[in-house]
Amino acid sequence: MSNPSLVLNKIDDISFEEYDSPVIDTPYDVIVEVKKTGICGSDIHYYAHGKIGPFLLTKPMVLGHESAGIVSQVGSSVTGLKVGDNVCIEPGLPSRLSDEYKSGKYNLCPHMAFAATPNSTEGEPNPPGTLCKYYKCPEDFLVKLPSHISLELGALVEPLSVGVHASKLAKISLGDNVIVFGAGPVGMLAAASAKSFGASNVLIVDIFDDKLAMAKKIGVATHTFNSKTEGNVDELLAKFEGHHPTVVLECTGAGPCINMGIAALAPGGRYVQVGNAPGPVSFPITEFATKELTMHGSFRYGYNDYKTGVAILDKNYKNGKENAPIDFEALITHRFKFKDAIKAYDLVRGGNGCVKCIIDGPE
């Protein structure tokens, strides 16, 4: 069976290719017919620069890792899924032998095969991405979607799980006041996670008023702040109307945002670094120490984060779209057929007001 795929060959070079479809090798394998895939900023970074940190593109790679689809085949020992089920795909497979996997931090596994992320091992192919017709995945890295959660929303579970992971690290609970830096897809979904975990107030910081307006409109932010036009940390705290920030989720990696986040936090607060920086940044270590802040790095997502993301969507839409507290679907601003996937990548690369772009699976 043919498996049409979207392939990044090198910088500025994407093409459609035909590969053999994956086959079931173990009793726990599942074949998913991919129906919806979101474009991630990392995809665009590989497209434009050919690398992210230590991950260097040296051979062709199937793109895509934010996907949902329909189960088309199951292995003989699969019990939790059946043909026809709608699922979202957790796209990173750790080594089952690593210490990180055994200790419950499989997202830190040094042997992780993550979809659409270059493999540096000489002679080994890159892990397959999900922008294809058929994708193979172990049963335990698939999560069944409730009947009222669309496949498009299923494709949002991947970036939503990044926010879930950060919220868990920050131990967000009822009564917390949270600041999120960055109103891109990850920042928006981190804010949505914080609200879902019980945060009383969520302020989003960005430099674009249209993004901040969207954050309020769709229900992920109670407050917003434009750090370019509205001033410094004192003005930020005034805009937060006396709510003392107990948590910062920093989703930009920008030095000024990192410094503002530390300055804004209440003593004893919790800080989670979600966004990546292009290099070293200055850090207010004295204020961090004297406030006795707690800081966490955050990398992708781990055990149960995907299931939590699906549960957030399930609860949000349980009374119908018209009564949903958060309009997750509004984040999907552009949609493309698979045959127009290269146009979709060029659109996202160019900006053009795109928040989240979804590509249909091959016909």
Within a domain: 37: yes
CA 147 vs CA 30, 78, 87, 133: distances in Å:
20, 20, 10, 22
Domain count of the fold of the chain: 2
- Residue 272 belongs to what domain range? 163-297
Put simply, whether the predicted model's pTM sits higher than 0.85 gets the answer yes
pLDDT in tens, 90-141: 999 999 999 999 999 999 999 999 999 998 676 678 899 999 999 999 999 9
Which pLDDT score is estimated for 65? 98
Asked if 57 and 113 sit in the same domain, the reply is: yes
Kindly report the CATH number assigned to the domain that includes residue 40. 3.90.180.10
Q: Are residues 139 and 17 in the same domain?
A: yes
Same domain, 187 and 252: yes
Three-state secondary structure of 56-90: ECCCCEECCCEEEEEEEEECCCCCCCCCCCEEEEC
pLDDT score for 36: 98
Domain contains 43: yes
Residue 260's CATH number:
3.40.50.720
Please check the confidence at residue 77 and state whether its pLDDT lies above 80.
Answer: yes
Sign of CA dihedral 282, 284, 285, 286: positive
What digits encode the pLDDT tens for the residues 328-349? 999 999 999 999 999 999 999 9
What digits encode the pLDDT tens for the residues 270-324?
999 999 998 899 999 999 999 999 999 999 999 999 999 999 999 999 999 999 9
Domain-embedded: residue 309: no
Distance between CA atoms of 166 and 295, rounded to whole angstroms?
11
> What pLDDT does residue 278 have?
85
| Shared-domain flag, residues 144 and 180 | no
Residue 232's pLDDT is 94
Same domain, 43 and 100: yes
Q: Is residue 303 part of a domain?
A: no
Any idea of the CA torsion for 278, 247, 155, 106, to the nearest 10 degrees?
70
Residues 127 and 53 in one domain: yes
- The verdict on 204 and 291 lying in the same domain is yes
What pLDDT score does 119 carry?
84
Co-location of 188 and 293 in the same domain: yes
Q: Are residues 290 and 355 in the same domain?
A: no
Is position 326 within any domain?
yes
- 176-202 average pLDDT score: 98
Distance CA 142, CA 154 (A): 11
334 and 276, same structural domain?
no
Residue 1 has pLDDT above 80, yes or no: no
141, 32: one domain: yes
- Please compute the mean of the pLDDT values over residues 181-199 and round it to a whole number: 98
Report whether pLDDT(353) > 90: no
Indicate if the alpha-carbon torsion angle 67, 296, 200, 260 is positive or negative: negative
Q: Are residues 131 and 24 in the same domain?
A: yes
Q: Is 142 part of a structural domain of the chain?
A: yes
Residues 362 and 338 sit within 8 Å (Cβ to Cβ)? yes
Residue 246 lies in a domain: yes
311 part of a folded domain:
no
Residue 183, both tokens:
């109103």
